[in-house]
Amino acid sequence: MLESADSFPELYKSFSWDIPTHYNIGVDVCDRWAEKDPERIAIIDIDPSGNRADYSFQQLKVLSNRLANALRKRGVGIHDDTADRVGVLLPQCVETAVSHIALFKLGVISIPLFTLFAQDALLHRLSDSGAKVVITNAEGLKKLQSIREQLPSLKLILCIDDVNESTEGVEYFYRICDQESDVFSPLLTRSDDPALLIYTSGTTGNPKGALHAHRVLLGHLPGVEISHNFLPLPDDRFWTPADWAWIGGLLDVLMPSLHHGIAVVAYRFPKFDAESAVILMRNLSVRNAFLPPTVLKMMMSLPESTFKGLALRSIGSGGETLGAELLEWGRRVFKLTINEFYGQTECNMIVSSCSALEPATAGYMGRPVPGHNVKIINPETGLVLEHGNEGAIAVESPNPVMFLRYWNNPEATAEKYVSSGKVRWLLTGDRGAMDESGKIHFVGRDDDVISSAGYRIGPSEIENCLVSHEAVQLAGVVGKPDSLRGSVVLAFVTLNEGFNASEQLSSELGEWVKLRLAAHEYPREIRFIDNMPMTTTGKIIRATLRQWAQSDHQEN
């Protein structure tokens, strides 16, 4: 836990890492609490029908021990110094937590998989990783059966729903667990031993598998604690609509909460509904939430009276930058300041704001989190740039939260780093600038920044400005090729209910941006679309928008 401090710089200066030689995530988040406070509630599981079941840390220990014994009996473990890989294709539910905990205690590598993945997405991840087992439900089983013949390494599928076990290589999760002992001796893993293989969102090209060590959870803790105003406090209770298959759900919410003995609400909407999410948080007295910017923008369309009666004391948000309008709206409806944080699958929770220490600054995503040396550098030379200069956002290596490597991709791993003298930097692939106080302004992805008539324009600020208009639900901004300016700003916009696309609205939105940002930043073209292309983590796929813009340019 972070020590209390009077200021962010003081907190940063006083922090130091204490990473033990041996550490196991499963033992830390489950067995430690089962011994200390066995009846303490760990998971509040809400099924699709709304039924609630509370699971204690002792129950998590028993279930995960039984699963670990069952998997070990079926040959899952470490062979020739190589840990088996096991996929977890499940929504937010108690079995997801149990599966990851059991795999950590076995010393093997768990692969979080999103339930909305189609066959091709699953095929790539399971084939690339050489997964030996997948734990899933009936819906996931159908997808896996359709690609089973293309996965020679996949020997076993465990299904949490009752299944016809006459199918070769498929077993019922609870039947095999019920046959096992409650006692299991976790493997004594080193903190640097591999534990998780999380595939990147893949907005361009095939997703890459980022391999993380057990220490990755410890590396997340300072960022999680500071972005939730010094988590934990008495009666804290966590929920996120983000799936636990993503680093934002698994390592920003589920595992840090269990580490701190905080109850986690397990419920993910089959189709997200902003009003139902607010009702869920109110009914379950959620105190802490990770709400991605897309979710917050969808909530902005609700009447402000919807948010009365919430028990929230902290909201963290990351993935896209927050604008002044969104921050101010959050203060009104939630009665708190949303803390923005920043990271990526390979190196997460490295920058954050903390309203408990200082006011948020619109346009800045916060300061480097204690324990992380984050700088703006020249990506070619590795040299740190002067304050105010735009460059690559980079993190000094080694770092407990940093990935070990890309799976089966040493070339991509090497490209992720640049050295200057004795300092080795991990390049995030994002661009930003740091002011004299140490706060970082996010500009955009390397390939998202728009070059127009000599100006370098970041899309996020324009998107946030557009979303502050009452008609706009989502906005995605890219550069469209232009013979005169090189590129011009093109905005793709989806509208809120009650608003219709028109030339008049397009002109109004252009003026809206011009008056609030700058004349060179306003979108010279606005295109209204019904569905914004999004990654499964809720980020706008600007690569798709750029393809659309490029196609239009070629046609014209």
pLDDT band (50, 70, 90) for residue 555: low
The mean per-residue pLDDT over the stretch 56-62 comes to 98
- Domain-embedded: residue 235: no
Does residue 214 contact residue 25 with C-beta atoms inside 8 Å?
yes
* Mean pLDDT across the chain: 92
Residue found under tokens 């998971």: 43
Q: What percent of the chain has pLDDT over 70?
A: 96
Q: Which of 257, 261, 258 minimizes the C-alpha distance to 288?
A: 257
Q: Tell me the pLDDT tens digit for each residue of 407-437.
A: 999 999 999 999 999 999 999 988 999 999 9
Domain end point (choices 169, 195, 214):
214
Classify each residue of 491-509 as buried b or exposed e, where b means 16 or more C-beta atoms within 10 Å of its C-beta.
Answer: bbbebbeeeebeeebbeeb
| pLDDT at residue number 453 | 65
- Domain-embedded: residue 71: yes
Task: Decide if pLDDT at 397 tops 50.
Answer: yes
Between 169 and 323, name the one with better pLDDT: 169
* Cβ count within 10 A of residue 233: 14
Task: Decide if pLDDT at 49 tops 90.
Answer: no
| pLDDT at residue number 239 | 98
Task: Decide if pLDDT at 201 tops 70.
Answer: no
Domain end point (choices 194, 214, 234):
214
Domain end point (choices 173, 192, 214):
214
- The packing angle between helices 119-129 and 138-147, to 10°, is 70
- Domain-embedded: residue 227: no
| pLDDT at residue number 171 | 95
The mean per-residue pLDDT over the stretch 317-343 comes to 91
- Domain-embedded: residue 46: yes
Sorted by sequence, the CB contacts under 8 Å of residue 537 that are 6+ apart come out as: 201, 242, 243, 246, 248, 292, 319
| pLDDT at residue number 53 | 97
Task: Decide if pLDDT at 203 tops 50.
Answer: no
Highest mean pLDDT among 215-229, 472-486, 538-552: 215-229
Distance from C-alpha of 295 to C-alpha of 266, rounded to nearest angstrom:
17
Helix ranges restricted to H, 346-452: 410-415
* CATH code, 535: 3.30.300.30
- Domain-embedded: residue 33: yes
- Domain-embedded: residue 533: yes
Task: Decide if pLDDT at 455 tops 70.
Answer: no
Q: Tell me the pLDDT tens digit for each residue of 480-528.
A: 988 767 789 999 999 999 999 999 999 999 999 888 777 778 899 999 9
Distance from C-alpha of 147 to C-alpha of 26, rounded to nearest angstrom:
31
- Domain-embedded: residue 411: no
Q: Which of 444, 477, 443 minimizes the C-alpha distance to 548?
A: 477
- Domain-embedded: residue 403: no
Does the bond joining 91 to the residue before it have cis omega, within 30 degrees of 0? no
> β-pairing, 156-159 with 109-113?
unpaired
Task: Decide if pLDDT at 454 tops 70.
Answer: no
Residue 201 lies in domain: 25-214
Helix ranges restricted to H, 107-200: 119-129, 138-147, 173-178
Q: Tell me the pLDDT tens digit for each residue of 63-74.
A: 999 999 999 999
pLDDT band (50, 70, 90) for residue 554: low
Q: Taking the mean position of all CA atoms in its chain, how far away is CA 339?
A: 15
Task: Decide if pLDDT at 204 tops 60.
Answer: no
Distance from C-alpha of 135 to C-alpha of 144, rounded to nearest angstrom:
11
| pLDDT at residue number 519 | 75
| pLDDT at residue number 413 | 95
Number of folded domains in the chain? 2
* CATH code, 166: 3.40.50.12780
Between 447 and 144, name the one with better pLDDT: 144
